[in-house]
Amino acid sequence: MKGLILALAVSLTALLSGAAAAHEYEIGSVKIVHPWARATAGGSLNGAVYMTLSVASSEPDRLLAVSTPAAKHAQLHKTIMDSGVMKMRPVDVVKIVPGSPTVMQPGGLHIMLMGLAAPLTEGDLLPLTLTFEHAGTIEVEAIVLSVDAMSPE
């Protein structure tokens, strides 16, 4: 019996790991791969979401807007180095060009969530609505990883 329980636990873990690795969405020619966020520390009212975007056509597309019921505001941001200090700045759009995935990651492009309704907790799914210039609008879920996660793996 213990062997059966262990085998089921191992199978479930493998299944969930595979599901996380295959966490992707498509709309039009745009592919959204593994949207994820970091858990928020303490009483932080802000968070960030990351993902990889690519386009499978010869025409570029642009991520124009993001929204979520989990925060008052969701903005497209980039991190820059200014006089030796890392700063975050809003960007109007995120360009997605053919043949070159756009990686949103810590220290770079990201979606900034401001005014969170509740802390982001590891294991939760965060609903997001992404609006692209050509592909249209799609609802996705970002998985919340540990507070110190640096990538979706």
pLDDT in tens, 68-94: 999 999 999 999 988 999 999 999 999
Give 102's Cβ-side CA count (13 Å radius). 22
Paired tokens of 105: 């990651």
Question: What is the distance between the alpha carbons of residues 71 and 15, in angstroms, rounded to a whole number?
Answer: 31
Domains of the chain: 25-145 (2.60.40.1890)
Higher pLDDT, 19 or 116: 116
The pLDDT assigned to 15 comes to 43
Paired tokens of 22: 């295959």
Amino acid at the residue 125: L
pLDDT in tens, 123-149: 999 999 999 999 999 999 999 999 999
Closest CA to 127 of 113, 107, 147, 109: 113
In contact, 35 and 23? CB cutoff 8 Å = yes
The pLDDT assigned to 85 comes to 93
Instruction: Say if residue 54's pLDDT is above 90.
Output: yes
Q: How many CB atoms lie within 10 A of CB 66?
A: 20
The pLDDT assigned to 42 comes to 83
The pLDDT assigned to 43 comes to 83
Closest CA to 69 of 124, 9, 27: 124
Instruction: Using DSSP, state whether 96 is helix, strand or coil.
Output: strand
Question: What is the distance between the alpha carbons of residues 63 and 92, in angstroms, rounded to a whole number?
Answer: 9
Paired tokens of 72: 């008052």
Mean pLDDT of 42-51: 94
pLDDT in tens, 3-29: 434 333 434 444 444 444 449 999 999
The pLDDT assigned to 30 comes to 98
